[in-house]
Structure 1
Amino acid sequence: MFRSISTRISYMVAIIIILSTVVTLFFIDHTLEKDIMNAQGRTARNTIRMGLLYLKEGKQSIDDYRKQAYDNRKSAVKDAMKIFISQLDSYYDLYQSGILTEKEAKEAAYKLARTTRYFNDDYFFIYSEGLLVLAHPDSSLDGKNLSNNKDKKGYVYGPEMKRLGTSESGGFMEITWIRLGSTKPVPKIIFMKPFSKWNWMIGTGIYVDDIEESVKAQGESLINNMRKGFAQIRLAETGRLFIFDSDKKVIVAPLGAGPDFADTINLNTGKTLFHDLKDVGRQGQWKLDYKVRRGDGNEVLKQSFVQFFSPLGWYVASTVPLREIDNPVKSLVFKQGIISFVILIFAFGLIYYFVRKICLPIQNVSQVAFHVSQGDLKEAKNVFLNKIDPDYLRRITSFESFEDSNHKFDEVDHLVKSFHTMLNTLNSLVSQVQQSGKMVTGSALKLGSAIGQLEVAVENQAIATQELGSTSREISATSTELARTMNESTGVAITTADLANQGLLDLGVMSQSMETMRDASGGIFSKLSVINSKAANISSVVTSISKISEQINLLSLNAAIEAEKAGEFGQGFSVVAREIRKLADQTAMSTLDIEKIVAEMLSAVSSGVMEMDKFRKQVDTGVSNVEVMGDGISGVVDQVRSLTPQFEAVNEGMQNQSEGAEQISKAMIQLSETSIQTKDALEEFMSITDQLSTSVDSLEAEVAVFRVENES
């Protein structure tokens, strides 16, 4: 099925656009997905960093609050301790002044320790340097040694208490203890101070559970603020941040998480999600891709980023379904595909329009080339006139050279102009070749007719020459016999008279034969003259054929040049032009052979005419001699008896006549050979003429396939 070049170019461009679009969409899909994943990862990491920064600031704020609260509380404890020790000093001064005994002073001090309260039911106690309880609000402890005693968390606080209680400056320590009248252990700060006057260790404790409760409240407030802040942060569509601690306890759950969120299993590893996130967070790897099963039983691919916050032992992590990252990419690629498809349709239509507009002249020229290859130059001309825009054709053919024009022409314009020029040249060339072929055919027919006539004339000449040769031989034999007879007649007069009478009769016959020979030689002469004239005409015809072959050769050369200009579209005609040139060359060679043969024939015919003219003159002379001889013999017959002495003269004349007859016989033999040669030459010339006619017929057959514009 034929497809136009415009359609093929449009298909090719469409395929290129489709391939480039597919590659672009694939590249966009791959690159965009990668970029969005990276962007999502950066967003998640930055969001987690912001959460960590907020946690750090909150932790710092809580720590500052605790530190400030503890510092204030410790300062108050120190102030209370100063007041208590100052009272002990007053009891010691009373002892020193003798107002109170040592025992009374110490009992008063013990009582003061047991009954004194400050702040939140806080109290003082007195230990010996060996950690023996001397006075304590809890009377059950009086008299006990607390060296190996433990707090409610199992901390053995005795050694540290002894160290601080014997130190000049004293110091603070923290234990977990049960408040008086309560059963719940709470944190407590113990301040120990030595009372060296009686080798005591004075201590006081202040419960800081209120501080811890306040700190805890601030922590809860921090967590609530984190929940509110994380609820406002979105990663993709449903992605959220969440916080869990090292015990896999959810601190801040993501929005929509169920109560079993902490028990979520990573289907890729078979372990809990928090376990895998802890490993990633501890190792600082940030990202974890995992698969979980939703409540409806469907599996979902997700991606998390996690970071460990060591001050609190918390993990801040994100969770985003991967489909929410892929869906925007797929949506964008789909939209891009729709846009690309619309652009492809529009581009294909636009390209097809312009390519068809550009390639339409090429398509028309290809039709012209097809008709030229079929030899239909007339239809090729009609394609130029009917299918190519006349204004366009007039514009590109109005210049001898495109370089001389101010207009811009492309390769298609060159091709159309070249085909138009080639078609006109080819039409003119084929017309001339056809006309020349007709002329050569007519000349060949005439030449064949003339050669036929010449061949008949030569055959007649050969027959006449053979007859004349036979007659000449007979004359020669008769003359020889007559001479012999005249020799014998010299001695026998009577016999001579009889023989003279017989000779007179023979002379009459010879006279008739000489007359016939003269007429035959005249006919031969006239036939040779006609042959000479025809040979001259043949020479002119040969000259015409030579000129025609030169013209054909020149035209075929021009056609080959035009076909070469047309490029591959003129290859078919270039082959025809070469064949025409070969035929022209063969015609020229045949013409040269004919010319050579005609020249040889002219030479032979001219020689034959000359010899025949000479022979004719000799025959005339012989006839005259025969007439004279007839008169002489008549006289001899009348006067033979009286003119016997003259027989010698007659005998001598007969000898001469015999020699002349012999010469005539030789000339006739030569003329017969010349006639045979002429006949052979005519046969060869006839063969060459047949070859010429065959070549002309072949040339006409080759050219006949072309239908030129001026044909009906």
Structure 2
Amino acid sequence: MLRSISTRISYIVAAVVIASTLVTLLFTSSTVEEDMTNAQGRTARNTIRMGMLYLQEGYQSLDRYRKHAFDDRRQSIKDSMTIFMSQIDSYYELYKSGKLSEKEAKEAAYKLARNTRYFNNDYFFIYTDKLEALAHPDRTLEGRDLSNLSDINGYAFGPDMIRKATREGGGYVKLLWTRLGEDEPISKILYVKGFSKWKWIIGTGAYVDDIEASVERQKQDLLHDMRKGFSQIRLAETGRLFLFDNDKKVLVPPRGAGPEFAKTLNLKTGNTLIHDLKEVGKLGEWRLDYKVRRQDGEIVRRQSYVHYFAPLGWFVASTVPMKEIYAPVRDLIVKQGAISFIILLLTIGVIYYVIRRICLPIRSVSRVAYHVSQGDLREAKRVFAMATDKGHLKKVVESFETGKEKRFDEVDHLVKSIHTMLLTLNSLVSQVQVSGDQVTGSALKLGTAINQLEAAVENQAAATQELGSSSREISATSQELARTMNESTTVAVSTGELAAQGVHDLGEMGVTMDAMRDASGGIFSKLSVINSKAANISSVVTSISKISEQINLLSLNAAIEAEKAGEFGQGFSVVAREIRKLADQTAMSTLDIEKIVAEMLSAVSAGVMEMDKFRKQVETGVSNVALLGDGISGVVTQVQTLTPRFESVNEGMQNQSEGAEQISKAMIQLSETSIQTKDALTEFVSITEQLSSSVSSLEEEVAAFQVDQD
């Protein structure tokens, strides 16, 4: 027997469920990893955007402070210039009023420019409108042409000073210049204004390094606030934000990072991490995946997002270990795997129970089919009865028997088909066995009748041969008697003796004719028996033909039922084909027997007719012989007086000779008919043996089935 189909289906379903679960876990893992990565990226980008907003606010605050400080500083410079210009005007008025000479007035103005200081050691200077130095705290510059002078950055500020002082009525110029007493140039704002009365350009300026220092302090405060804020921000478990500038200087390192963080190498590119992040930020991208080596030597994968804040030249970046991004994914996969395993066990249990419930009828039906294929219909019925004693199959069979089929599936119809096929096959095989027994009995009876008929035909042939010999002897005797009667006219004297001898011979011939009449009567009766037996054979052949037709019909029904049963009815289909072949052979043999019996009936009927005719002729001959005996007796008594009538007697003898010759011919014909009848009986015996062999084969095939005899 094969393995349980429910077990195999359960294995298949379990394999499918396991495969789908694994595929789902893999798909979920990859999808969730991607989603977690994207989610972490969104979180990092949003956090960086928040940092950028804070930087934007800090920058705007710095920008407002710087702008306000510069505006105040420029206004202060302008106000100082107004005061200084009023003093220069006073000197000019003293010159105009004659209190001071022009030279004295100018010298007073020069002295005032050289000695006046304000704010952070800021000063005034006086140039001609061609930018020749007249008065300057740095006396080394006096008398020099400064029109082509440039600052440390190469900015030639002379033409701008001339334009703003003479044509624009005053203006500001920004440059890098060295503070008095120092060597390093710093940022400075100049305000220049023309004094047309003496064709001067008067200027003053203020160094703004204090403003930049104050801005820088605010930047440091901003960085402090950023450092404090970044320390509170956490991405995943240990992910942090950090800040660096265009010079790759780490302004706010990630919390927990070592002092060598700025030198951390990206093992994928061989560059420093800060370098790669700067390149990514400058390109407008966000994400960078990289590998770094920790202090303990372990290589870890990390993910960073970076954004560039151009106004300050700063980069805000994040760094998160990849394993922390994937940790929730692993936890989720483990939990989902455990849940899937529990669901898998429950699913397999439920599916096995359901499939077992579905496959139990199939298993029972397969056992029934197995016993049927082995020819044990009795055991098959017992197994089917045990399977249908209780449960769903009992309801199915009862519903089929009552004709109420509702909501039945293919298995239920298979049970119905097997049940119907089992009943039909059992009935078919039982009928075939009974029919085989009947055919066997008929064949035995037919064989006995044929043997009897064969013996009778042999006796008839022997009697016919004897009768033929007697007829030939009679014919020869009649011819000889005719010749004798021809000679009787010359030997009338010996007629008495011959007549006496003739009377004696006629007595013997009468006995012979009586025997011939009795033999012909026996032959006639035996031929009648043969005719009746042949008629019986015809009826037996008809019965065999009907039986073969019934067997053929039953085998056809069995083949139809086996075809309905599908693969379970293949064994029945083979048996049905064999039964149909045997039925066809029986039908063919029956047709041959019927043909031979018909020929035999025809021959026997002809023999009966000929024998009846011969019997009548024999009876006529017996009568003639009796009359002849009476005549001869009269001849014996009146032989002396009947000599003249020998001619008429001679004529009668001639007629008797001709009748004897006709009898001889009829006996020859009867002998030939008997031979043909014997040959036909021999052929009929062969056909009967073939029929008996076919019936034996059929019985052997059917004997393989064990059926219940109802």
Please report the TM-score for the alignment, with normalisation by the length of structure 1.
0.89
Query: Cα distance, 1:700 vs. partner?
Result: 1.7
Contact 2:377–2:707 (CA<8 Å) still a contact in 1? yes
**For residue 224 of structure 2, what is the aligned residue in structure 1?**
224
Q: Does 1:376 align with 2:393?
A: no
Q: Give the CA deviation at 1:64.
A: 1.0
The structural deviation recorded for 1:140 is 7.2
**In structure 2, what residue type is equivalent to 1:240?**
R
**Amino acid across the alignment from 1:709:** D
1:660-689 Cα shifts (integer Å, max 9, x gaps): 322221221122112112111211221221
Q: Deviations over 1:234-271 (max 9, x none)?
A: 34433333222222211222223322222233333333
Instruction: Flag the 1:401–1:234 CA change in 2: closer, same or farther, 3 A.
Output: farther
Following the alignment from structure 1 to structure 2, what is the Cα–Cα distance between the partners of residues 487 and 285? 159
Inter-CA distance 80–498: structure 2 relative to 1 (3 Å threshold): same
Structure 2 partner of 1:250: 250
**1:490–1:496: 8 Å Cα contact kept in structure 2?**
no
Q: Which runs of 5+ in 1 are unaligned?
A: none
Query: What pairs with 1:571-590 in structure 2 (closer than 5 Å)?
Result: 571-590=570-589
Q: Distance in 1 between matches of 2:506 and 2:148?
A: 199
* Residues 388 and 397, structure 2, Cα contact 8 Å, conserved in 1: no
Superposed displacement of residue 412, structure 1: 1.5
Inter-CA distance 247–644: structure 2 relative to 1 (3 Å threshold): same
Match of 2:676 in 1: 677
Aligned residues: CA RMSD: 3.3
Per the alignment, in what secondary structure is the counterpart of residue 243 of structure 1?
A: strand
Shift of 1:151: 6.4
Q: Cα deviations across residues 41-68 of structure 1 (Å, max 9, x unaligned)?
A: 4443443333333323322210110110
Provide the C-alpha distance between the structure 1 equivalents of 2:654 and 2:156, rounded to a whole number of angstroms: 191
- Alignment size in residue pairs: 710
8 Å CA contact 1:486–1:496 kept in 2: the answer is no
Report if aligned partners of 1:486, 1:651 keep a CA contact under 8 Å in 2: yes
The question of whether the paired residues in 2 share the 8 Å contact of 1:364 and 1:388 is answered with: no
Matched, 1:535 2:534: yes
Corresponding residue number in structure 2 for 1:354: 354
Matched, 1:169 2:169: yes
| Cα distance change, pair 642–248 in 1 and its aligned pair in 2 (3 A) | same
Q: How does 1:614-629 map to 2 (within 5 A)?
A: 614-629=613-628
Q: Counterparts of 2:293 and 2:405 in 1: how far apart (Å)?
A: 78
Give me the identity figure in percent. 71
Aligned equivalents of 1:313, 1:581: Cα separation in 2 = 103
Q: Is the 8 A contact 2:69 2:211 kept in 1?
A: yes
Partners of 1:25 and 1:333 within 8 A in 2: yes
Instruction: Call closer, same or farther: CA 1:512–1:260 in 2, change over 3 Å.
Output: same
Q: In the alignment, which residue of structure 2 is the partner of 1:688? A: 687
- Cα pair 1:168 1:194 within 8 Å, conserved: no
Gaps of 5+ in 2: none
For the Cα contact (< 8 Å) 1:133–1:143, is it kept in 2?
yes
Query: Which residue in 2 is equivalent to 1:407?
Result: 406
Q: Deviations over 1:261-299 (max 9, x none)?
A: 222333333333333333333332433333333323333
1:27 is the counterpart of 2:15? no
1:520 aligned residue = 519
Structure 1 residue 185, shift from structure 2 partner = 5.9
| Cα separation, 1, equivalents of 2:561 and 2:152 | 119
Aligned-partner SS, 1:296? coil
Alpha-carbon deviation of 1:350?
1.9
In structure 2, the partner of 1:436 is: 435
Deviation at 1:420?
Answer: 1.0
- Equivalence for 2:4: 4
Deviation (angstroms), 1:142: 6.8
Equivalent residue of 2:308, what SS? strand
Tell me which residue corresponds to 1:459: 458
- Aligned equivalents of 2:176 and 2:632: distance in 1? 200
* Cα distance in 1, alignment partners of residues 602 and 121 from structure 2: 169
Counterpart of 1:93 in structure 2 is: 93
More displaced 10-residue stretch of structure 1: 676-685 or 634-643 = 634-643
Contact 1:479–1:655 under 8 Å retained in 2: yes
Confirm or deny: 8 A CA contact 2:388 2:394 kept in the other structure: no
Q: Deviation of residue 458 (structure 1)?
A: 0.6
Once residues 618 and 159 of structure 1 are traced to their aligned partners in structure 2, the CA distance between those partners, rounded to angstroms, is: 180
How many angstroms apart in 2 are the aligned matches of 1:591 and 1:152?
Answer: 137
Matched residue SS, 1:604: helix
| C-alpha distance 291-394 of structure 1, shift in aligned 2 (>3 A) | closer
Deviation at 1:15, TM superposition (A): 3.3
- Distance (Å, rounded) in 1 between the aligned partners of 2:132 and 2:612: 189
Q: What's the secondary structure of 1:316's corresponding residue?
A: strand
2:256 is paired with a residue whose SS is: coil
Q: CA deviation at 1:469?
A: 0.8
2: CA distance between counterparts of 1:76 and 1:306?
A: 42
Query: What residue is the counterpart of 1:315 in the other structure?
Result: 315
Contact 1:113 1:125 survives alignment (8 Å): yes
The equivalent residue for 2:272 is 272
2:76 corresponds in structure 1 to: 76
SS at match of 1:86: helix
Q: How does 1:18-167 map to 2 (within 5 A)?
A: 18-102=18-102, 105-106=105-106, 108-110=108-110, 112-113=112-113, 116-127=116-127, 129=129, 166=166
In the alignment, which residue of structure 1 is the partner of 2:259? 259
Pick which of 676-685 and 569-578 moved more: 569-578
Q: Structure 1: which amino acid aligns with 2:13? A: V
Distance 1:539 1:169 in 2: 155
How big is each residue's C-alpha offset from its partner over 1:618-637, in whole Å with a ceiling of 9 and x where there is no partner? 43443444444445444544
Say if 1:454 and 1:206 are closer, same or farther in 2 by CA, change over 3 A: same
State the 1:147 CA deviation: 5.8
- Hey, what's the Cα distance between the residues in 2 that align with 1:709 and 1:297? 88
Q: CA deviation at 1:436?
A: 0.9
Distance 1:212 1:477, change over 3 A: same
Structure 1 residues 433 and 595: alpha-carbon distance in aligned structure 2, compared to 1, 3 A threshold: same
- 2:276 alignment partner AA: D
Amino acid at match of 1:705: A
Letter paired with 1:417: K
The residue aligned with 1:611 is: 610
Contact 1:176 1:186 in 2 (8 A): yes
Q: Which amino acid aligns with 1:346?
A: L
**Distance in 2 between the 1:200 and 1:544 partners?**
158
* 2:696 equivalent in structure 1: 697
Structure 2: how far apart are the matches of 1:207 and 1:262?
35
SS at match of 1:671: helix
Aligned to 1:514, the other structure's residue is in SS state helix
Aligned-pair CA distance for 1:548: 1.9
Deviations 1:20-50 (A, max 9, x none): 3343334334433334333444443443333
CA-CA distance at 1:476 after TM superposition: 1.4
Secondary structure in 2 aligned to 1:420? Answer: helix
Instruction: Flag the 1:637–1:334 CA change in 2: closer, same or farther, 3 A.
Output: same
Q: TM-score, normalised by structure 2?
A: 0.90
* Alignment correspondent of 1:551: 550
1:667 matched to which residue of 2? Answer: 666
**3-state SS of paired residue (1:497):** helix
- Give me the whole-angstrom Cα distance separating, in 2, the residues matched to 1:489 and 1:151: 199
1:346 alignment partner, SS class: helix
SS in 1 for 2:311: coil
Q: Is the alpha carbon distance of 1:127 and 1:605 closer, same or farther for their aligned partners in structure 2, counting shifts above 3 Å? A: closer
Residue type of the partner of 2:600? M
Q: Does 1:342 align with 2:349?
A: no
Deviations 1:454-497 (A, max 9, x none): 10111011111111111111121112112211221222233223
Cα offset, 1:424, TM superposition: 1.0
Map Cα deviations across residues 47-90 of structure 1 (whole Å, 9 max, x no partner).
Answer: 33333333233222101101101212222232233233333433
